[in-house]
Amino acid sequence: MAAAEDWEWEVAVPEKRLRDKLYFENLKSVVIDRNICSRCLTCAAVCPGGITVVDDRVDFPDYETRCMDCGACVRVCPRYVYEPKSGLGSYIKFIAGRSKRFKGQDGAMVTELIVSAMEMGLIDRGLFVSRSEDWTTEIFHVRDAEQLAIPTLGGTKYTFADVLPELKKAVMFTKRGVGIVGTPCIVSGVRRLQQEFPLFRERVKLIVGLFCTENFHYRDISRFLTEKGVDFSKLIKTDITKGKFIATMTDSEVKFKVKELEGILPSGCRVCTDFTAVESDASVGSVGSAKGYSTVVVRQKIADEIIDYIREKGYADFGEGDPAQLDYLINHKKAREKNIPK
Ligand SMILES: Cc1cc2nc3c(=O)[nH]c(=O)nc-3n(C[C@H](O)[C@H](O)[C@H](O)COP(=O)(O)OP(=O)(O)OC[C@H]3O[C@@H](n4cnc5c(N)ncnc54)[C@H](O)[C@@H]3O)c2cc1C
């Protein structure tokens, strides 16, 4: 057996930028205080101490005494050493699809991919972002198609969701594998977790990314929408399409230019350049296909096999997608590179 003095710690922890400070102080100084934090909460998923969200900012109350200085947060943060991704990314197929079994934001292909992966035995659970009556987000571990009878599970919530801290629980309890759905920042966080921790590498089997221009803090968007006349008790759907935000209620609709939301755009979204979630196994969005369909960018073999299964079973109608329709939003986000502080 090696003598204690010969023993070396083999985990590669990134170098501290502030050498004599705790790792959380490094994360705070390089990411949070520079306003480039995306609030993906990858750090919170692995922090053994107490990284959380306080007043819409990632924080660690009492970190001076509670931070264990393990370095896990900076190992997994996609923005500690920020290499912005952009463009359409590589893909095997670019298609349009509409599930015949489920209703969703567009063609419910996200739900179809996750449920089909469960049927195929690739995963035993998928993490979905649901919502409560006031439209705050909640995470659900969907384990069978029957749970999808909960009407709030499908559809887009333009509010941050704590998906990644929940992923930690999912990988601990899964017996076959986990499927996860998320915005591009969440997808990048999952890839970092997979690079750094074997448990996530082995157990997260399917990553479905969503196209995303921006997301919002609940307090900001709910205040804004209330001032616009949205009654949350009647709200059934929110949508951003052709430059307009549309809030559909049971008896009316509120519509306004999405540009009006500029004032509440979170700082982490201002520096995000990834519209299509280039690191996912499959990305799904609205733009790029006909109304009622989801655009599906199939990137990895696992997603291709699930699409083949959906086709064989006749679970969805398929059509052609048009990648050129994504150009405007891809370029719009790429231009945000200039906002990244040097
Ligand atoms: C914040 C945000 C911004 C988006 N911006 C665009 C855009 O600019 N252009 C575009 O074409 N598409 C955008 N999308 C994607 C689009 O709204 C649809 O989610 C996508 O087309 C899939 O539709 P579907 O019917 O296949 O999904 P469904 O089958 O209805 O499933 C929707 C999935 O989205 C997940 N979800 C919902 N809200 C969130 C959230 N806040 N965080 C993480 N996961 C969530 C749910 O868990 C569910 O799994 C955005 C999505 C989000 C969440």
- CB-based contact 112:315 (threshold 8 Å): yes
Question: Which pLDDT value is given to residue 5?
Answer: 66
Q: How far is the CA of 176 from the centre of ligand 1 (A)?
A: 25
**278 in ligand 1 pocket by Cβ < 6 Å?**
no
**156 in ligand 1 pocket by Cβ < 6 Å?**
yes
Question: Which pLDDT value is given to residue 237?
Answer: 93
13-76: which CATH number, 3.30.910, 3.40.50, 3.30.70, 3.90.550?
3.30.70
Share of the chain above pLDDT 70, in %: 97
Cβ burial, residue 215 (10 Å; 0-12/13-18/19+): buried
Tokens of 66: 């509670």
Q: How far is the CA of 76 from the centre of ligand 1 (A)?
A: 24
Q: How far is the CA of 35 from the centre of ligand 1 (A)?
A: 24
Q: Which residue has its alpha carbon closest to ligand 1 atom 44? A: 182
pLDDT tens-digit profile, the chain (342 residues)? 456 567 666 667 788 989 889 999 999 999 999 999 999 999 999 999 899 999 999 999 999 999 999 999 999 999 999 999 999 999 999 999 999 999 999 999 999 999 999 999 999 999 999 999 999 999 999 998 888 888 888 899 999 999 999 999 999 999 999 999 999 999 999 999 999 999 999 999 999 999 999 999 999 999 999 999 999 999 999 999 888 999 999 999 999 999 999 999 999 999 999 999 999 999 999 999 999 999 999 999 999 999 999 999 999 999 999 999 999 999 999 999 999 998
* Domain limits, the chain: 13-76, 93-216+266-339
* CA distance linking residue 163 with residue 154, whole number of Å: 15
**286 in ligand 1 pocket by Cβ < 6 Å?**
yes
Q: Which residue has its alpha carbon closest to ligand 1 atom 12? A: 285
pTM: 0.96
Q: Would you say the CATH fold of 93-216+266-339 matches that of 13-76?
A: no
Residue environment code for 249-278, b if the CB has 16+ CB neighbours within 10 A, otherwise e: beeeebeeebeebeeeebebbebbbbbbbb
Half-sphere exposure of 225 (CA within 13 A, CB side): 29
Question: Which pLDDT value is given to residue 309?
Answer: 98
**162 in ligand 1 pocket by Cβ < 6 Å?**
no
**213 in ligand 1 pocket by Cβ < 6 Å?**
yes
Cα–Cα distances in angstroms (integers) from residue 223 to residues 152, 217, 228, 230, in the given order: 21, 10, 9, 10
Q: Which among 128, 152, 210, 287 is the best mutation to test ligand 1's pocket, defined by most ligand atoms within 8 Å of the CB? A: 210
The CATH number assigned to the domain with range 93-216+266-339 reads: 3.40.640
Q: Which among 105, 136, 280 is the best mutation to test ligand 1's pocket, defined by most ligand atoms within 8 Å of the CB? A: 105
Question: Which pLDDT value is given to residue 8?
Answer: 67
185-239 pLDDT per residue, tens: 999 999 999 999 999 999 999 999 999 999 999 999 999 999 999 999 999 999 9
**161 in ligand 1 pocket by Cβ < 6 Å?**
yes
Q: Which residue has its alpha carbon closest to ligand 1 atom 24? A: 108
Question: Which pLDDT value is given to residue 15?
Answer: 83
Q: Which among 38, 127, 156 is the best mutation to test ligand 1's pocket, defined by most ligand atoms within 8 Å of the CB? A: 156
Q: Please name the residue ranges forming H helices in the chain.
A: 23-27, 42-46, 63-66, 72-76, 109-119, 163-173, 184-196, 198-203, 218-227, 267-270, 301-313, 327-334
Question: Which pLDDT value is given to residue 12?
Answer: 74
